[in-house]
A and B are shown apart, each in its own frame.
Chain A
Amino acid sequence: MKTIYKRPEVFTDVNTSYCGGCGHGIVNKLIAELIDEMELREKGILVWPIGCSVYADKYYKMDAICALHGRAPALATGIKRSLPDKFVMVYQGDGDMVSEGMAEIMHAAVRAENFSVIFINNAIYGMTGGQMAPTTLLGQVTSTSPYGRAVASSGYPVNMAEIMANMPGVCYSERVTVNTPQRITATKKALKKAFELQFENKGLSFVEVLSPCPTGWGKKPIDAMKMVDEQLIPIYPLGAFKSPEEVPAK
C-alpha cells in the first residue's frame, strides 16, 4: 500500500496553541512538510518570535530558539554567521516584525543575510488579545482602534513584501495566503523556494503570508477566510515582488 498522506516526521506530539481557523497552523504544517521533504531536520535551526507562535519551538524535533520580541532577525544573524552552512529559518508575526522589530528586519535585509524569513501578516496582534498592528487596515476595529484605524492618529498599513523587494540584500520576496487549497499549495511552493535560496549566497529570502485571525477579527473561521479576499488582498496584493533570477550571488 502506498502512503499518500502522513503526519510530518519532524512534528512532536505537542498540541499547538493556535485557535481554530488560524493561518499559523497551516503554515507551521507546510514548514514541517518541507523540512521532511528537503531533509533539513538535522541541519537546521528554527528561530521563533514572540507572538501567537511563541510555543512553536516545542512543535518540531529540531534545534530551536525563541527570540525576544522583534529581535529574531538579529538573533538569527548571530546564528547564521556562526553556522553559514546550516539552514536558518526566522518566523515572525506582524507586531513582532513590523512594530517592535522593524530595525532588525530592515538591517538583516541591508546586510543580505543568507536566511529565510517567514512573515505572518494577520493585520492584528493575536497573542495580546486583538490590538492594532502597523499592518491593521484603515477603518479596521481592534481593541486599541475601537472606532477603526484612522490615518490621523495611526497612519497607514505597511506593505512589507513590497518594501523587502526594494532592498538589494533581498533575493526573493513574495506575498501568499492560505485561504484556499490552491493558495496553500502556492504558499508551500514559495516557502520551498525561500528555503532553497539559503544555500545560494544571494541574501535574504522573504515570504509574507496573509493569515486569517478569526479570534482577533471577531469572525467565524469561514468569514475570516472571506475577509482575506475582500479586505486584505486589495491592500496587500498577492504575488512575487522580486524573483531570485534577477539577483546575482554576493
Chain B
Amino acid sequence: MGEKVFLQGNVALAESAIRAGCKYFFGYPITPSSEVPEYYARKAQEEGLVFVQGETEVACFNMIAGTAATGKRVMTATAGPGFSLGQEAMSYMAAAGLPAVVVEVMRPGPADGEILASQGDYFQAVKGGGHGDYNTLVLAPCSVQEMCELIQDCFELAEKYRNPVILLSDALLAKMRENVELPGRKEQNCDLSWALTGCAGRKHNVMTTCGDGAAQWEKFNLDLQEKFAKIKANEERWENYQTEDADIILVAYGSMARVAMGAMKLAREAGLKVGLVRPISLWPFPVKAFEGLGDKTFLVTELSAGQMVEDVKLTVPHKENVYFYGRLGGFVPSPKEIFEQIKKLGVK
C-alpha cells in the first residue's frame, strides 16, 4: 500500500484509475463528476495519458467503446443526465463485449434536477438503462478509500468478463475528502487476442453488434445470458454488520450505508438489536448476503423513492417484512432520523 493522503473522492478515484493503468479518458464536464476529467487533463502530460474532452456524453461513451475495442484500459466519468445520454453506448458495449469502465456520480433527478447527493439512478445502472437484454456489473463504494480500491477492481472485472462495468458513486462520496491509502500501480494482465489492433500475423477480428436473422441473434443473446449467469454466480460482494443477533436489519449502500451505520450504533446503544447489510455489488445483487436472515425485519434506506428495495423484496422470503425509508431531492437523512424510523417499526 502507498502513502496516506487527504483527498477528494473524485480526485482519489482518478489517481487510482491512473495507477490501475487506465491511460485513456474521454469525458464531458458535468457536476458532480468534473474533477475526474480535470485530474486526467492535468496529469496527461507527465503520465503520458490520452485525455479528450468530447462534445457530448453520447460521443464520449462511444469514444471509450472505441478505445476498449483496441484492448486498452479506458474510462469516462459522468452524472445523471450524462449517464442517460450514454445508455445507447452502454447497450452497445455490452453487446460488443467491450471492457470499458464508467463512473456514474449520482445526483437527484429527474431531468437536470439538483447536484446534491442521490441514489436515484439505481434502476438505470443496475437494470440496464439502455435497450435490450443486457447487464453491467455495478460496484458501489461507501468511502473514498473503498472507491480507490473498487475502481481498480472495475478494470479487472471488465476484462475478465469483457463487459462494461459501472462504478456507482454519488455527489457526497465524490465531493467529500477523506484520508486514504492510495492503491499501488497495477498492470493489465488479460487475454487481448480479440482486440482490434490491425490483423498482423493473425486472423482478422470483427466486432459486430448487428443481428443476422432470429436464429443467429437468439444464439448471440443466449451466449450473453450465459456470461451474465456466470457473473451472477461469481461476483456478488457485500458486507454484513451485526446481522446474526439482529431483529431489524438495515439495508443500505454507498453514502447511505454510512448513515445507516450511525443509526445502527444509536439503536444498539438504546438496546435495540439492529444490524446492517451493505451491498457492494449492486449488479449482481448480493443475494447471498441475506442467507439465513429470512425471519428478520428489514428497513431499506436509500436516497431515492425506493429502488434497491425492490431487489431486497425479490431476495428475502417474506417481502411483507421489508420496509422502506428514503429522502429525495438531495437531502441526506441523519443517523437519528433513521433511528426514529427503526423505533417506529415497533420491533423490540
Residues of A within 8 A of B (CB): 41-45, 50, 54-55, 57-58, 60-68, 71, 74-83, 86-87, 103-104, 106-107, 110-111
Given contacts A63-B199, A66-B207, A103-B55, contact A82 B62 (CB under 8 A): no
Are B59's CB and A71's CB within 8 A? yes
Which of chain B's residues 222-263 have a Cβ closer than 8 Å to chain A? none
Are B208's CB and A66's CB within 8 A? yes
Judged by a CB distance under 8 angstroms, whether B209 is at the interface is yes
Known contacts A74-B54, A74-B63, A107-B55, then 7 further A-B pairs from the complex at CB < 8 Å, ordered by chain A residue: A41-B199, A42-B199, A66-B209, A68-B92, A77-B26, A82-B72, A104-B59
Closest residue of chain A to B61 (Cβ to Cβ) is A74
Given contacts A64-B207, A65-B96, A78-B69, contact A43 B55 (CB under 8 A): no
| C-alpha gap A87/B216 in the complex (Å) | 31
Chain B neighbourhood of A66, CB < 8 A: 207-210
Which of these, B55, B63, B92, contacts A78 with CB under 8 Å?
A: B63
Are B62's CB and A74's CB within 8 A? yes
Chain A neighbourhood of B70, CB < 8 A: 45, 78-79, 82-83
Are B196's CB and A103's CB within 8 A? no
Closest residue of chain A to B66 (Cβ to Cβ) is A78
For the complex of A and B, 7 pairs with smallest distance between CB atoms: A78-B66, A74-B62, A107-B55, A78-B63, A78-B67, A74-B59, A42-B200
Judged by a CB distance under 8 angstroms, whether B205 is at the interface is yes
Judged by a CB distance under 8 angstroms, whether B30 is at the interface is no
Are A81's CB and B197's CB within 8 A? no
Residues of B within 8 A of A (CB): 24, 26, 50, 52, 54-56, 58-60, 62-70, 72, 74, 88-89, 92, 96, 196-201, 204-210, 212
Chain A neighbourhood of B56, CB < 8 A: 103
Q: How many A-B residue pairs have CB under 8 A?
A: 131
Are B50's CB and A81's CB within 8 A? yes
| C-alpha gap A60/B199 in the complex (Å) | 11
Chain B neighbourhood of A45, CB < 8 A: 70, 196-198
Q: How many Å from the CB of A80 to the closest CB on chain B?
A: 8
Chain A neighbourhood of B210, CB < 8 A: 50, 54-55, 66
Q: How many Å from the CB of A38 to the closest CB on chain B?
A: 13
- 18 residue pairs A–B, Cβ–Cβ below 8 Å: A43-B198, A50-B210, A58-B208, A63-B199, A67-B62, A68-B89, A71-B89, A74-B54, A74-B58, A74-B59, A77-B59, A77-B63, A78-B67, A81-B52, A81-B63, A103-B55, A104-B55, A107-B54
Q: Identify the interface centre among A55, A60, A66: most chain B CB within 10 Å of its CB.
A: A66
Are A81's CB and B207's CB within 8 A? no
| C-alpha gap A7/B221 in the complex (Å) | 35
Are B199's CB and A71's CB within 8 A? no
Closest residue of chain A to B91 (Cβ to Cβ) is A68
Closest residue of chain A to B63 (Cβ to Cβ) is A78
Chain A neighbourhood of B60, CB < 8 A: 74
Which of these, A57, A61, A87, A103, contacts B58 with CB under 8 Å?
A: A103
Which of these, A57, A77, A79, A81, contacts B206 with CB under 8 Å?
A: A57
Are B200's CB and A43's CB within 8 A? yes
Closest residue of chain B to A58 (Cβ to Cβ) is B206
Which of these, A44, A67, A82, A110, contacts B55 with CB under 8 Å?
A: A110
| C-alpha gap A79/B198 in the complex (Å) | 11
Which of these, A44, A57, A63, A68, contacts B88 with CB under 8 Å?
A: A68
Are B66's CB and A79's CB within 8 A? yes
Closest residue of chain A to B51 (Cβ to Cβ) is A81
Chain B neighbourhood of A83, CB < 8 A: 70, 197-198
Are B198's CB and A75's CB within 8 A? no
Closest residue of chain B to A60 (Cβ to Cβ) is B204
Are B63's CB and A44's CB within 8 A? no
Chain A neighbourhood of B204, CB < 8 A: 60-64
Chain A neighbourhood of B205, CB < 8 A: 63-64
Q: How many Å from the CB of A41 to the closest CB on chain B?
A: 7
Are A82's CB and B198's CB within 8 A? no
| C-alpha gap A212/B89 in the complex (Å) | 32
Closest residue of chain A to B89 (Cβ to Cβ) is A68
Q: Identify the interface centre among B50, B58, B62, B72: most chain A CB within 10 Å of its CB.
A: B62
Which of these, A62, A74, A82, A107, contacts B199 with CB under 8 Å?
A: A62
Q: How many Å from the CB of B84 to the closest CB on chain A?
A: 15
Are B63's CB and A75's CB within 8 A? yes
Q: How many Å from the CB of B222 to the closest CB on chain A?
A: 21
Closest residue of chain B to A75 (Cβ to Cβ) is B66
Are A86's CB and B62's CB within 8 A? no
